[in-house]
Structure 1
Amino acid sequence: MSIVTQQTYSNYINGTWESSAGDTKASINPARPDEVVGYYTLSSADTLNKAVEAGMAAKDAWRKMAEPARGNILFKAADFLEGRLEEIAETMTREMGKTFPEAKGETMRGVQLLRYYAGEGMRKNGDVIPSTDQEALMFTTRTPLGVVGVITPWNFPVAIPIWKIAPALVYGNAVVFKPAQEAVITAAKVMECLAEAGFPEGVINFVTGTGSVIGQGLAEHPHVHGITFTGSEQVGRGIGQTALSRGAKYQLEMGGKNPVIVTEDADLDLAVNATISGGLKSTGQKCTATSRVIVQSTVYDSFKEKLLEKVKDIKVGDGMKEDSWMGPCASESQFQTVSSYIEKGKEEGAELLCGGETVPEEKGYYITPAVFDRVSPDMTIAREEIFGPVLALMKVETVEEAIELANDTEYGLSASIFTTSIQHFLSFLDDIEAGLVRINAESAGVELQAPFGGMKNSSSHSREQGEAAKEFFTSIKTVFVK
């Protein structure tokens, strides 16, 4: 199968795919940097204004459409996405590197998200509240924000856009969607499925370009009433501050330095497999990826031996090859970033047990999965988000010490523990500072019907997915009828 395209994608504004205006840029296959996946437009602020104004013109009629009717369009979008599942998954693999099976799983997740939120069109949007006045009726209803800016990252170019766009739309907002440049061709194909579903003109708009022009422009635009962003902490903070300064609602999902605790009573084989899956799948390029592995001293050596045996067998290669378990870093810049962290770990005294090497027989941005031993809490690789296939092993004596070490970070996105002790589980559940807590399961991943978000510097303390999405994309109206 080969569906490589070199099509040029421009913007979708007010129900029309525009011809490319201005400079274009190539999107490169990180497995083979000499291969162009497609081209996209570096749009201007004027183009962004046009998209926002299209949303402004469409939002009132869309808000007044019956919610089940809005949901029906999302159902159609899900069908179109499912019909192109393998094509879009292959584009994802070629554009940002994750293996084809992972890309197919993510694309199917997008289909499921669309269908879940399509069903929201038939669910309640308010509550009746008892009034102290026996002759009155008091209830709540919800109203959409208006025009919402959606800014998404490259690591999940199907799932993350859809888990933002789908609830924004079904709850009655117009959307302006700005995808990450590293995965813009994949995002454009998702946008084609949404466009084909039949949304009214201006309800969903798609603008490609740089973060400094389009992303910042969305944050600053006076007619954008809400911003939902997933990406780096530095960029997220700037977007949040800009939105706050003009009174717009904002939602930020940012970094993680996610710990896994392995207690002396844990099933070590289960813990090893989950650490590898949570830390190294998608080349470690997940905000929920396992980064710090905190192990009790009594089982430390046994765990390390089992971990190294399996990590050394991981096949790194082109994600379209059936025998590849882990693909390349998503871009040259990400490759350089991960490489610099590996060198920093060695410079600061951590012991590199395996990996952290390039793959000479491959031309792409490959790094073999790295495992560090003798990592202390003050080292850079123990504190900063690497966003790559790097595991830092840390030894502790007690579970209490493990939890304290797990919390010793500015982030609080996800955390997991492997234990067969109810007491350890309850202590972890009560004391861990993370928005996603998993027991005897990898740190990465959350079911689509459950709230997702972090604590501390991992988020703006809002939640995405499930029914929690309604809290961001709508405002409550309290109604008193006498």
Structure 2
Amino acid sequence: MTETNYNYVDGEWVAAGTGETFAVHNPADRSDVVGEFQKAGTADAEAAVEAADEASQMWADTPGPERGRILRAAGQNLADRKGELTETLVREEGKARPEAAGEVQRAIDIFGYYAAKASDVGGTVKASSSDNTRLYTVNEPVGVAGLITPWNYPIAIPAWKIAPALATGNTIVFKPASQAPGVSRKLVECLDEAGLPDGVLNYVTGPGSEVGETFSTHEAVDAVSFTGSSAVGDTVGRQANETGKRVQLEMGGKNPTIVMPSADVDEAVDIVVSGAFGVTGQACTATSRAIVHEDVYDEFVEGAVAAAEAVEVGPGLDGAEMGPQVSESELDSTLEYVDIGVNEGATLETGGDEIDAGDGFFVEPAVFSHVDPTMRIAQEEIFGPVLAVIPVSGYEEAVEVANGVRYGLSASIVTQDLSEANRFVEDSESGVVKVNEKTTGLELHVPFGGMKDSSSETYREQGDAGIDFYTISKTVYMNY
């Protein structure tokens, strides 16, 4: 029997007032129904906001160490249920099991990190220029935070938004993506079981046009943090700005890795292919473009083709290296871009065909060579396992190509030339810059965010930057 999952509002698991639900299917086996979820409407979202608003002062007044204790207990609950969470993530989103387990572990680590940080949320003391005066700052929570998260990292991204928001004393209304809401529901369960007070965290599933828009526009919501596509992010940002909210947007990417002549080509291939085809290319930081110096271009393409053809594609629960795309629409989009690349004149070296591997949305990882930087496959975010390999004649041209897109999220260079490495750090128009590493993969204690159309360029996420977004500073002059 299919499990029916409920919204979590004011400390209670409740059905949507609409009386409607929607089914989530396993993208590796469409006959496998992961669960039924509430198709909430505007009234349900408003009820969640009202609960968060009502609990706001109580949670803000809760001492930081006590908030940290609850986060620490929630992290332990996640750890105790890691196997269950991993399987849920694989079933509803499609990741390979090791990838899913790594994402769950990241959520566990994030809660541990911000549990410790909760005791340090205070302020700073400064020397006053006047006698008999204490000058200091106090960091206070912003209030009610509206969190809207994507399907591609359905527990890690909610964790890195929820944990700092709670650590700093904010209450939350949270809408996960409808393609993969189950693992984040279990995250909410872990917080509930850890003793989180009623109303502090509210979880509502349903369409963005009603639930998301309510969270973005309601007068009682003070801050909105969104991760997802640029098109939706632009709408969320406009709605939130019109109502004077603090806004944090992280959106798409078209991430390059530059490969220079000094690179070990085999190592470069491993770095690029891992970044391009890991998590089925469904990461905002995925390597979409390999910008390769002509001196090593042919050797690199040969290696990339061999590596792509060696990737085992299939259901994550069966031990495959690369799982399915999350939905039929995502698969269709990838296949369409493969056709676009061929029609534009790029050479499809390998892959790009739909795979008959059970009743799922599987596609072969694709490698294109002889890609011109102006082609659509070199300019537009594909969000699937498609790699465009672009030849260049030198460092300056490589950087020009790397920066020549509307996005600026993550970028890397593979080189043994220290001068090139340092120049690239300065020259790259991206929020994350890596040397001799893949564009994917993030440390949780340093800021994360993009530039240009990849981000609102307002606040960063993770590390101390996560604290900054959810707090506002009050300066105190104490004359005694």
Using structure 1 for the length normalisation, give the TM-score. Answer: 0.98
Letter in 2 for 1:106: E
| CA distance in structure 1 between the aligned counterparts of 2:356 and 2:282, rounded to whole angstroms | 22
| CA distance in structure 1 between the aligned counterparts of 2:68 and 2:266, rounded to whole angstroms | 44
Match of 1:427 among 419, 423, 446: 423
Runs (4+) off by over 4 Å: none
Corresponding residue number in structure 1 for 2:189: 192
| TM-fit CA distance, 1:124 | 4.7
Unpaired segments ≥5 residues, structure 1? none
| CA distance in structure 2 between the aligned counterparts of 1:123 and 1:32, rounded to whole angstroms | 46
Q: Deviation string for 1:146-170 (max 9, x for gaps)?
A: 1101100000001000000000001
Q: Deviation string for 1:262-294 (max 9, x for gaps)?
A: 000001111111111111011000000000100
Corresponding residue number in structure 1 for 2:348: 352
Letter in 2 for 1:396: V
- C-alpha change, 1:355 and 1:266, in structure 2 (3 Å) is same
Partner-residue secondary structure (3-state), 2:363: coil
Q: Does 1:320 align with 2:322?
A: no
| CA distance in structure 2 between the aligned counterparts of 1:217 and 1:57, rounded to whole angstroms | 17
Aligned partners of 2:94 and 2:323 also within 8 Å = yes
| TM-fit CA distance, 1:122 | 1.9
Aligned partners of 2:121 and 2:139 also within 8 Å = no
Letter in 1 for 2:269: V
| CA distance in structure 2 between the aligned counterparts of 1:215 and 1:130, rounded to whole angstroms | 45
What is the Cα-based RMSD across aligned positions, in Å? 1.0
| TM-fit CA distance, 1:130 | 2.1
Q: Does 1:12 align with 2:13?
A: no
Corresponding residue number in structure 2 for 1:409: 405
Corresponding residue number in structure 1 for 2:227: 230
| TM-fit CA distance, 1:34 | 1.6
Match of 2:302 among 293, 296, 305: 305
Calculate percent identity across the aligned residue pairs. Answer: 45
| CA distance in structure 2 between the aligned counterparts of 1:382 and 1:125, rounded to whole angstroms | 46
Aligned ranges 1:113-262 → 2 under 5 Å = 113-262=110-259
| CA distance in structure 2 between the aligned counterparts of 1:277 and 1:11, rounded to whole angstroms | 37
Corresponding residue number in structure 1 for 2:334: 338
Corresponding residue number in structure 1 for 2:270: 273
Aligned ranges 1:288-303 → 2 under 5 Å = 288-303=285-300
Aligned partners of 2:219 and 2:243 also within 8 Å = yes
Corresponding residue number in structure 1 for 2:367: 371
Corresponding residue number in structure 2 for 1:381: 377
| CA distance in structure 2 between the aligned counterparts of 1:272 and 1:125, rounded to whole angstroms | 46
Q: Deviation string for 1:396-455 (max 9, x for gaps)?
A: 010111011100011110000000001100110111111101100000011001100001
Partner-residue secondary structure (3-state), 1:311: helix
Corresponding residue number in structure 1 for 2:450: 454
Letter in 2 for 1:272: V
Unpaired segments ≥5 residues, structure 2? none
| CA distance in structure 2 between the aligned counterparts of 1:76 and 1:391, rounded to whole angstroms | 42
Which segment drifts farther, 58-67 or 119-128?
119-128
| CA distance in structure 2 between the aligned counterparts of 1:476 and 1:206, rounded to whole angstroms | 28
Corresponding residue number in structure 1 for 2:36: 39
| TM-fit CA distance, 1:471 | 1.4
- C-alpha change, 1:476 and 1:162, in structure 2 (3 Å) is same
Aligned partners of 1:8 and 1:20 also within 8 Å = no
Match of 2:52 among 55, 59, 84: 55
Partner-residue secondary structure (3-state), 1:356: coil
| TM-fit CA distance, 1:470 | 1.4
Letter in 1 for 2:368: F
Letter in 2 for 1:430: E
| CA distance in structure 2 between the aligned counterparts of 1:376 and 1:276, rounded to whole angstroms | 20
Aligned length: 477
Q: Deviation string for 1:109-163 (max 9, x for gaps)?
A: 0000000000012225211122221221111111111110110000000100000
